[in-house]
């Protein structure tokens, strides 16, 4: 803008006095403002524009930027990044190791459970075996006892039968002798001749039908 | 004449700011399309965030150019 | 021009004065070696980066403390970005990308402190950063791929008649890259700071001071976001250009 002003300055002077007057007033005001900041004065005319376009500071900025970048790059590539990547891979390793250890413990727990199950099954089988053996023994004893009791009962029944038979035989005999005696007495009372054999045959004949 | 020059500068700077509207539409278009795509397929959205930012950066750069032109007109002519 | 503005309605607008480069010690001219306020704030950015990434991680703890978590977050973010965009073979250049990202991020954030100086608002700084990337990527592309790198401009999927036109367009867009790359960052930072400054100048009028303060607060929040996003964008564009150099061809 200032260059433009300088070019047009003669024309402005020709046109009117007031324009140059205001211009000088502005310049004075600007001078006061520039005294405010030291850099303003240092840059002279260039401070009117954007500080970004002040070419006189470019070399300075670029130089220090390169220095700073070089320092950061050196520190990062030598110290910081290897350290962080080391820490991250360490952590990864630790996590993987822990996971594997956990897997191992899980496997161990599973094995222990399997062993426990096996022991339990064994114990159960053993118990079943013992129960079966006991049952068999008891059964045997029971069978023997039953057989013994059966034999005893059979013996007693036989004995009783024999005695019943004896009693019955004796009763038949008694009946027969009573019948013979009665027959004999009857025959005698009727005045008949007593033939023992005949009477016996007759009584037997009659009894055979009655007793059996 | 000085006032005329200033007038030109200010008018030019103001006109240059219209360019920002274009950048705004561009950035809004990128973000809106990203959002509608992301709502349709949210699982693919995370992988496209980088593309979103690249697109927004390109669209926004042109608005920054217009801003720069305005600044140059105001301060550097 | 600053002359005429400051008399308007008694308000004093100096939105660009915050970007003036001054020598740190005494007055005098700014030579290329003079320590200036730009030097100070760039050095502070470097110190913060070293403080975070070196001293923050000195414990090398498996379970990180806060600083180490932040450092690892930054590392993981940039590392993933480089790996995702450029592929495995781009990881060789990861320290450089990390340097760029950390520098821009910290310069942007430090510039948000009151009375600080925003070094990334200067086109000289951002243009140097962008040109380093541009020249580096171009050289890398020719070293890695030889003349095959020129295939970047020869769109083989387009019809033959269109290819020369596209080649010219691609060439122009290739050479505009450093321009937009640098001006985007500088322009964003400069615009935000200048707008805050303009609102701050309005705060001198008592009637609109509350509005102005609310506006400054809102702009400040936006600027925090912009500081992060611009660092991210600069870095991811670097990665994209790097990918073009490593794997040219569409």
Q: What's the residue count for chain B? A: 77
The verdict on a CB contact (< 8 Å) between B1 and A12 is yes
Touching check for B7 and chain C: CB below 8 Å?
Answer: no
Mutation choice for C interface testing from A3, A4, A76 by most C CBs within 10 A:
A76
Residue A176 in contact with residue A204, Cβ under 8 Å? yes
Q: What are the pLDDT tens digits along chain C (250 aa)?
A: 444 444 444 566 777 888 888 888 877 788 888 888 899 999 999 999 999 999 888 888 888 888 899 999 999 999 999 998 898 888 999 999 999 999 999 999 999 998 899 999 999 999 999 999 999 999 999 998 888 888 888 888 888 888 889 899 989 989 988 988 898 899 889 888 988 988 888 888 888 889 999 999 999 999 999 999 999 999 999 999 999 898 886 5
Of A4, A19, A50, the CB nearest to B75: A50
A6 pLDDT above the threshold of 60: no
Residues 6+ apart with CB under 8 A from C85: B50, C236, C239, C240, C242, C243
Structure tokens given for B50: 């980088």
CA distance C59 to chain B (A): 33
Per the model's pLDDT, the better-predicted residue between C223 and B61 turns out to be: C223
Sign, CA dihedral A61-A65-A68-A74, equals negative
Residues of chain A with C-beta less than 8 angstroms from the C-beta of C53: 75-76, 80-81, 84
List of residues 6+ apart from A26 with CB closer than 8 A: C3, C4
The pair of three-digit structure tokens given for residue A9, joined into one six-digit string: 């300055």
Do C27 and A41 lie within an 8 Å CB cutoff? yes
- Residue C23 dihedral angles phi and psi, to the nearest 5°: -65, 145
CA distances from C206 to B59, C6, C201, C209, C216 (A): 38, 18, 11, 5, 15
Chain B residues with beta carbon closer than 8 angstroms to that of C180: 58, 61, 65
Range A93-97 average pLDDT: 92
Whether A14 has a pLDDT exceeding 50, the answer reads no
Please name the member of A1, A12, A23 whose beta carbon is closest to the beta carbon of B77: A1
Q: What pLDDT is stored for residue B1 in this prediction?
A: 63
- What are the residue boundaries of the structural domains of chain C, listed by start? 37-246
Domain locations in chain B as residue ranges: 2-76
Asked if A8 lies within 8 A of B5 by C-beta distance, the reply is yes
Q: How confident is the model at residue B64 (pLDDT cuts 50, 70, 90)?
A: confident
pLDDT of A2 over the 70 cut: no
B74 with C1: Cβ contact below 8 A:
yes
Q: Which two tokens stand for residue C53?
A: 């990434």
Q: Do A23 and B72 touch (CB under 8 A)?
A: no
Residue C36, beta-bridge partner list: C23
Characterize A129-161 residue by residue with b for buried, 16 or more Cβ atoms within 10 angstroms of its Cβ, and e for exposed. eeeeeeeeeeeeeeeeeeeeeeeeeeeeeeeee
- A53: contact with B, CB 8 A cutoff: yes
The fold adopted by the segment(s) B2-76 is: F1FO ATP Synthase (1.20.20)
Say yes or no to pLDDT of B51 above 80.
Answer: yes
Mutate to test the interface with C, among A25, A34, A52, A88 (most CBs of C within 10 A): A52
- Give the position of tokens 């977050």: C73
The answer to whether A39 contacts C121, with C-beta atoms less than 8 Å apart, is: no
Q: What is the pLDDT of residues A109-126, one digit of tens each?
A: 999 999 999 999 999 999
Nearest to C195 by CA among C214, C221, C229, C219: C219
Which chains border C (3 or more CB–CB pairs < 8 Å)?
A: A, B
Query: Considering CB atoms only, which of A63, A69, A84 is closest to C57?
Result: A84
Predicted confidence band of residue B25 (pLDDT cuts 50, 70, 90) = very high
**Residue B2: which of A5, A50, A53 has the nearest Cβ?**
A5
ipTM of the prediction? 0.88
**Nearest Cβ partner for A65 among C54, C102, C128:** C128
- Return d(Cα A20, Cα A10) in angstroms, integer: 10
Give the pLDDT score at C239.
93
Given a cut of 50, is residue A8 above it in pLDDT? Answer: no
pLDDT: which is higher, C247 or B75: C247
Distance in Å, alpha carbon of B64 to nearest chain C alpha carbon: 6
Q: Within 13 Å, how many C-alpha atoms sit on residue A9's CB side?
A: 12
Task: Please calculate the CA angle A17-A21-A26 and round it to the nearest 5 degrees.
Answer: 150
CA–CA distance from C48 to each of A98, A113, C39, C125, C239 (Å)?
Answer: 35, 56, 14, 19, 24
* Chain C residues within 8 A of A65 when measuring between CB atoms: 42, 119, 124-125, 128-129
């Amino acid at each position: 803008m200032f260059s433009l002003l300088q070019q047009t300055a003669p024309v402005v002077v020709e046109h009117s006095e007031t324009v140059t007057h205001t211009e000088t007033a502005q310049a004075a005001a600007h001078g006061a403002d520039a005294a405010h900041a030291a850099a303003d004065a240092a840059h002279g005319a260039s401070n009117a524009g954007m500080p970004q376009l002040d070419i006189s500071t470019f070399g300075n900025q670029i130089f220090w930027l390169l220095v700073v970048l070089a320092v950061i790059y050196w520190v990062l590539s030598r110290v910081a990044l290897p350290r962080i990547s080391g820490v991250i891979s360490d952590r990864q390793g630790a996590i993987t190791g822990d996971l594997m250890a956990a897997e191992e413990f899980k496997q161990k727990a599973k094995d222990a459970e399997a062993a426990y199950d096996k022991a339990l099954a064994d114990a159960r089988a053993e118990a079943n075996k013992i129960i079966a053996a006991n049952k068999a023994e008891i059964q045997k004893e029971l069978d023997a006892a039953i057989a013994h009791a059966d034999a005893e009962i059979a013996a007693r029944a036989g004995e009783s039968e024999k005695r019943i038979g004896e009693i019955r035989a004796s009763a038949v005999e008694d009946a027969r002798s009573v019948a013979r005696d009665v027959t004999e007495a009857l025959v005698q009372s009727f005045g008949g001749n007593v033939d023992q054999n005949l009477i016996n045959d007759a009584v037997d004949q009659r009894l055979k039908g009655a007793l059996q | 004449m000085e006032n005329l020059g200033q007038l030109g500068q200010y008018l030019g700077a103001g006109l240059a700011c219209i360019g920002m509207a274009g950048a705004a539409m561009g950035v809004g278009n990128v973000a809106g399309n990203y959002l509608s795509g992301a709502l349709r397929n949210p699982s693919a959205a995370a992988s496209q965030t980088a593309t979103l930012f690249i697109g927004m950066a390109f669209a926004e750069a042109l608005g920054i150019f217009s801003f720069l032109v305005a600044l140059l007109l105001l301060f550097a002519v | 021009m600053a002359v005429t503005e400051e008399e308007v309605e008694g308000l004093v607008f100096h939105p660009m004065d915050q970007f003036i480069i001054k020598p740190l010690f005494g007055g005098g001219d700014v030579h290329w070696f003079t320590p200036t306020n730009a030097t100070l704030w760039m050095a502070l950015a470097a110190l913060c980066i070293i403080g975070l990434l070196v001293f923050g991680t000195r414990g090398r703890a498996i379970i990180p403390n806060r600083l180490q978590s932040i450092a690892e977050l930054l590392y993981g973010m940039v590392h993933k970005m480089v790996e995702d965009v450029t592929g495995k073979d781009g990881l060789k250049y990861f320290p450089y990308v990390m340097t760029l990202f950390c520098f821009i991020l910290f310069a942007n954030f430090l510039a948000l402190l009151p009375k600080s100086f925003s070094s990334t608002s200067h086109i000289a700084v951002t243009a140097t950063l962008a040109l380093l990337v541009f020249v580096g990527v171009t050289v890398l592309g020719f070293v890695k791929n030889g003349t095959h790198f020129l295939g970047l401009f020869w769109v083989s999927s387009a019809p033959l008649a269109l290819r020369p036109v596209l080649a010219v367009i691609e060439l122009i867009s290739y050479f505009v890259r450093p321009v937009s790359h640098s001006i985007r960052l500088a322009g964003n930072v400069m615009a935000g700071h200048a707008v805050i400054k303009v609102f701050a100048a309005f705060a001198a009028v008592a009637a609109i001071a509350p509005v102005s303060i609310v506006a400054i607060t809102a702009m400040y929040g936006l600027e925090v976001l912009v500081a992060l996003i611009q660092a991210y964008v600069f870095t991811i564009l670097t990665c994209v250009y790097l990918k073009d150099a490593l794997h040219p061809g569409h």
